[in-house]
A = this chain, B = another copy of it.
């Protein structure tokens, strides 16, 4: 194998493929990055078996070939080389030589035959969506994935396609996050994708209108971004019937400026950290929410102006769950719907239905 390529392009490709390499696999070959040179294209693959990332770039390939190189040291070397052309050549004894200007590295490589094959996927694209939009939908739901491993299906995000809508749903028993967007498809899909895969996908997706094509098989999802493809296995099992969890009615409707509410809760939560309970109390009256919290260090009172339809109520929350949702909401104004101080709270954007968050209150003694 002999090829010459541009340093910064190679560094970028390594950064992408490396996102799949978690170091958690017991197979040492998976600490390596697979590199294939052929027809003036080099293909880099990183994998941890659950998720694989393949990315392609142009290069001057003088002799085809393939190797696997330890991803960490390879990435560090390429990053530190001067911004110039790099030549990579296999030499005797399982060694590749990396040369750039007056730098020469001889590195041991592993056998490319030992690298696991990617799942074969027939790319009959099922839907496509702008990359920036999908990135936002992932960020808008992934925080609500369950952290404990008692129900593995909740460590994933549901991708639900129906009625020309893509819904992403995550929930952990205390809160539920939904993002929805119109997509141009008549397919129906119900698949759960591991949260950690999607967090890596979100890092690769660009904040742009460039399209990502998505294909499902019974066991896998494939994200095709052109030069880069991400393949992840799906989580097995059935997701929770989340629609049944959403309240059909409400008794209070609050209109409030998102940032004002978020700032007030953030300050109140400074006093709520003691004992990790994060407990903040809302006294909702007339035209205000009075937020209070206290700890050994002292107490806090925040007053937020609102527009209220309904009766006064006192209700308490874990401030972290409210803040997680508010931080990813983009609209200036939001709606909060409540029924009682022991039933779920719904938070939505005032002007669109793209985001919906459900948060359970904390029961407190009167």
Q: Which residues of A contact B (CB under 8 A)?
A: 70, 73, 76-77, 80-82, 95, 102-108, 263-264, 266-267, 270-271, 296-304
> Do A103 and B270 form a contact, CB below 8 Å, given A82-B263, A263-B80, A263-B82?
no
Q: Is the CB of A301 within 8 A of B267?
A: no
- Chain B residues, CB < 8 A from A81: 267
C-alpha gap A150/B363 in the complex (Å): 57
> Do A103 and B297 form a contact, CB below 8 Å, given A80-B270, A270-B80?
no
Task: Name which residue of chain B comes closest to A96, CB basis.
Answer: B298
Q: Is the CB of A299 within 8 A of B80?
A: no
Q: How far is the CB of A183 from chain B (nearest CB, A)?
A: 39
A-B CB contact pairs (8 Å), 16 listed:
A73-B297, A76-B270, A77-B270, A80-B263, A80-B266, A81-B267, A102-B302, A103-B264, A103-B300, A103-B302, A105-B271, A105-B300, A106-B300, A107-B298, A108-B296, A108-B297
Task: Name which residue of chain B comes closest to A95, CB basis.
Answer: B298
With A80-B263, A104-B300, A105-B301 known, 16 other A-B pairs at CB within 8 A are A70-B297, A73-B297, A76-B270, A77-B267, A80-B266, A82-B263, A102-B302, A102-B304, A103-B264, A103-B300, A103-B303, A104-B301, A105-B299, A106-B298, A106-B300, A107-B297
Q: Is the CB of A299 within 8 A of B263?
A: no
- Chain B residues, CB < 8 A from A95: 298
Q: Is the CB of B267 within 8 A of A103?
A: yes
C-alpha gap A77/B270 in the complex (Å): 7
Which 4 pairs, one residue from A and one from B, show the smallest C-beta to C-beta distance?
A107-B298, A102-B303, A104-B301, A80-B267
C-alpha gap A331/B102 in the complex (Å): 23
C-alpha gap A251/B149 in the complex (Å): 67
- Chain B residues, CB < 8 A from A108: 296-298
C-alpha gap A101/B299 in the complex (Å): 16
Q: How far is the CB of A46 from chain B (nearest CB, A)?
A: 18
Q: How far is the CB of A35 from chain B (nearest CB, A)?
A: 15
- Chain B residues, CB < 8 A from A299: 105-106
Q: How far is the CB of A285 from chain B (nearest CB, A)?
A: 14
C-alpha gap A304/B82 in the complex (Å): 13
- Chain B residues, CB < 8 A from A296: 108
Interface centre among A73, A102, A263, A299 (most CB of B within 10 A): A102
C-alpha gap A301/B301 in the complex (Å): 65
C-alpha gap A81/B302 in the complex (Å): 11
C-alpha gap A152/B303 in the complex (Å): 54
Partner of A298, one of B105, B266, B271: B105
C-alpha gap A263/B301 in the complex (Å): 55
C-alpha gap A147/B297 in the complex (Å): 37
C-alpha gap A304/B95 in the complex (Å): 24
Task: Name which residue of chain B comes closest to A102, CB basis.
Answer: B303
Q: How far is the CB of A144 from chain B (nearest CB, A)?
A: 24
C-alpha gap A80/B267 in the complex (Å): 6
Q: How far is the CB of A247 from chain B (nearest CB, A)?
A: 30
C-alpha gap A185/B80 in the complex (Å): 45
Interface centre among A76, A80, A271, A298 (most CB of B within 10 A): A298
Q: How far is the CB of A287 from chain B (nearest CB, A)?
A: 12
- Chain B residues, CB < 8 A from A264: 102-103
- Chain B residues, CB < 8 A from A80: 263, 266-267, 270
C-alpha gap A77/B70 in the complex (Å): 47
